Amino acid sequence: MKKTKILLAMLIMVVFNSCQDEEFDDLNQNSANLESKYSTDELKTIVITPEITGYTNATYTWLKDNQIISTEKSLAFVTDKEGIYDFTLQITEKSKTYTLTTQLIVNKAVSVYSKYISDVYDFLPAVGQFTNKLPPYTDGDSKEAMIQKAKANLVGPNPTMISLGGYGGYVVFGFDHTIINKPNKRDFKILGNVFTGSHEPGIILVSYDKNNNGLPDDEWYEIAGSEYQKPETIKNYSITYFRPEIEPTIPTLEYIRWEDNQGNSGYKEKNRYHNQPYFPQWISQNSLTFTGTKLADNYVDQSGNGTYWVGKQLEYGYADNGANNSEISDIDIDWAVDKNGNKVRLRGIDFIKVYTGVNQEAGWLGEISTEVAGAYDLHL
């Protein structure tokens, strides 16, 4: 009996020491650190990321004024008010919570921001009757030259229109500051060339400069407009256009062949109003592929004989869909969703991408092509 008690005591000590060693190792393997102070300017997004070792299954909770403001590992924060902001980060793993604190100093902006587009980063229209014309292509122009032409059209308070061509054609632009996501308000406006019966909706994507390199190379979030959840809207749609072997000099119904990933194929037509090549001439490859969300056809031949086509206006959330002086062309950042369709809470955005969202020919009117004629921050 005495030996049994001794063995039991030894076993308890081994288990206790093993638990102590495991806890000690756990504490040594996991570490986290935040700088005591960070700084940024007003209307500039800052991303605060803790230095982490271990914590393979941790959860993160960021608090400001005892309110949860994020559950991501990194905190993206932007404000239009200078001052000092206190943050608390709680890291929880295995029922243990480690707490870190830091301060953010937000300085007054050193320059006056513009509410308008400040830069164009990419531009590639799809096949279309205004491709190579809005903006105009000149023999020898490179892709960079065409991006600069799009920039000349869109930057500043007096923009002029560019065309994105048929489905998938796009432009990417940004601002000299972060557009703040204000609760219960629409945050930015995209200008187009809408008039009664002419609505050529474009899909809108937004992004913020998470890696702080000044380029739109972080995750994109789609603005989920009124059609996003409708069954006729196709996600992960893909279309390929093929350069014609011979460039026709007269109108033709079978001009530029296309195929999509839904088993469909067809031709983009060449009409009598625009005789220049419709395939972007600065592109060297013989095919172009675009992928994204496709909206249902929205143009209807109301005449029955192809003479009177009318484009339906969508409820909200698209470019070139509402008049420039209407709320329909105003966009709320809170409509953003991730690639899986989950709603996201973005504090602000730095970049916008617009692409034509419909793949349709509307008779003598030609292809449906989104036009962009500028954009601006609704809060600044």
**Would you say residue 15 has pLDDT above 80?**
no
pLDDT tens for each residue of 234-264: 999 999 999 999 999 999 999 999 999 999 9
Q: Is 238 in the same domain as 172?
A: yes
* Structure tokens given for 331: 């966009």
Of 234, 241, 181, 143, the residue nearest 43 (C-alpha): 181
Question: Nearest 5°: CA angle at 107, between 104 and 110?
Answer: 150
Helix (H, G, I), strand (E, B) or coil at 25: helix
Which of 107, 133, 168 is at the close of a domain?
107
pLDDT tens for each residue of 81-132: 999 999 999 999 988 999 999 999 999 999 999 999 999 999 999 999 999 9
CA end-to-end distance (rounded Å), the chain:
83
Q: What pLDDT, on the 0 to 100 scale, is given for residue 17?
A: 38
Q: What pLDDT, on the 0 to 100 scale, is given for residue 29?
A: 76
Q: Is 285 in the same domain as 308?
A: yes
* Cβ neighbours of residue 320 closer than 8 Å, sequence gap 6 or more: 190, 192, 193, 194, 199, 200, 201, 202, 370, 371, 372
Q: Is residue 371 within 8 Å of residue 255, measured between CB atoms?
A: no
Q: State the pairing for strand pair 59-64/83-93.
A: antiparallel
Q: Is residue 292 within 8 Å of residue 126, measured between CB atoms?
A: no
**Would you say residue 184 has pLDDT above 70?**
yes
Rounded Cα gap, residues 193 and 371, in angstroms = 7
Cα 68 to Cα 336, 349, 350: the distances in Å are 20, 20, 23
CATH number at residue 92: 2.60.40.10
Mean pLDDT, residues 306-316: 97
Please give the full DSSP string across 226-252, using - where no structure is assigned.
Answer: TTTTSTT-EEEEEEEEE--SS--SS-E
- Asked if residue 22 is part of any domain, the answer here is no
Q: Is residue 5 very low, low, confident or very high in pLDDT (cuts 50, 70, 90)?
A: very low
pLDDT tens for each residue of 124-182: 999 999 999 999 999 999 999 999 999 999 999 999 999 999 999 999 999 999 999 99
Domain count, the chain: 2
Mean pLDDT, residues 209-228: 97
Rounded Cα gap, residues 236 and 250, in angstroms = 35
Mean pLDDT, residues 221-244: 98
Cis peptide before 135 (omega within 30 of 0): yes
Mean pLDDT, residues 286-292: 98
**Would you say residue 12 has pLDDT above 70?**
no
Mean pLDDT, residues 214-220: 98
Of 188, 119, 184, the residue nearest 380 (C-alpha): 188
* Structure tokens given for 267: 């031709």
Rounded Cα gap, residues 62 and 285, in angstroms = 48
**Would you say residue 9 has pLDDT above 90?**
no
**Would you say residue 1 has pLDDT above 90?**
no
The per-residue pLDDT of the chain, averaged, comes to 93
Q: Is residue 187 within 8 Å of residue 336, measured between CB atoms?
A: no
Which of 67, 84, 107 is at the close of a domain?
107
Query: Around 303, how many Cα atoms within 13 Å sit in the side-chain half-sphere?
Result: 9
Q: Is 256 in the same domain as 373?
A: yes
Q: Is 265 in the same domain as 211?
A: yes
Q: Provide the residue range defining the domain that includes 146.
A: 119-377
Q: What pLDDT, on the 0 to 100 scale, is given for residue 116?
A: 98
Q: Is 74 in the same domain as 174?
A: no
Scored b (16 or more CB within 10 A) or e, 240-259 reads bbebbeeeeeeeeeebbbbb
Q: Is 81 in the same domain as 224?
A: no
* Lowest-pLDDT choice from 4-18, 310-324, 342-356: 4-18
Of 49, 47, 59, 55, the residue nearest 26 (C-alpha): 55
Q: What pLDDT, on the 0 to 100 scale, is given for residue 150?
A: 98
